Structure 1
Amino acid sequence: MKMPTRLLSSLLLAGLTAAAVAQEAAPRSDAEIQGVFDRNRAPLQRIFMKYQQRMPLEQVLRLELRFTVAPDGTVGEPAVLSSTYGDRELEALVRSWLGGLRFEARDGPAAVVERYPLVYHPAR
């Protein structure tokens, strides 16, 4: 059973909408997920800014991510489900960044984050 959740964002990550976490797999809270993303915002911002220098972003970049948080806090199976630009190099960089995130270790099974929307508004 999937449980819809709300994630709020600020600055770089704006406009995030509902995300679904597999309930049977000890879900991570919205605040925990958002906190880890916020603490690791700078490397993601550098990825987007470097990409924007090479390929100017003319519209909002929307990515939909899927990943698993293991009991030890590591992220596995990072995936980009969809992207408004469809650039494989950019998606590979985002997957690499996502795979490097670390959550607090927790007893129990892995938590699967089915859909995590990520939005980047390019500087104009």
Structure 2
Amino acid sequence: MRYIRIIAMPPGEAPERIRAAWIGIVLPLAETKGPQPGIWITQGVLGKDRGLLARVKRLLGILSVEQPSVAYAVEVLSAIESLRLHSPTAAVWWERHTPHLLVPGRRFCFSTVCCEEVSTRA
């Protein structure tokens, strides 16, 4: 199994203190069809692209510009459990604000600029 360590605050929609809580955590990489890191089209975790305004824009043919990013994919449930050991408060934030992500098969993508590969979980 391959692992990454979060070495810098990941970009994203979560509050800065919640994103900073990831620093230092070692996470197992998800099983993917392609190589890791990979090129992923990502969505914000807070669902801003799924709201009413986003739906109206899609109906009108106004599409948001998505930028691919080079990132490592990890399973959300595993990542949250690892986070809980490091920062229970941050884990609770994810549970309260992103319940739509807390299902088997969902993945977080961590940009390569905030990670390093490590050989073991320890």
Same fold by TM-score greater than 0.5: no
Determine which structure has more spread, i.e. the larger CA radius of gyration. 2
TM-score scaled by structure 1? 0.28
> Whose strand fraction is larger, Structure 1's or Structure 2's?
1
TM-score scaled by structure 2? 0.28
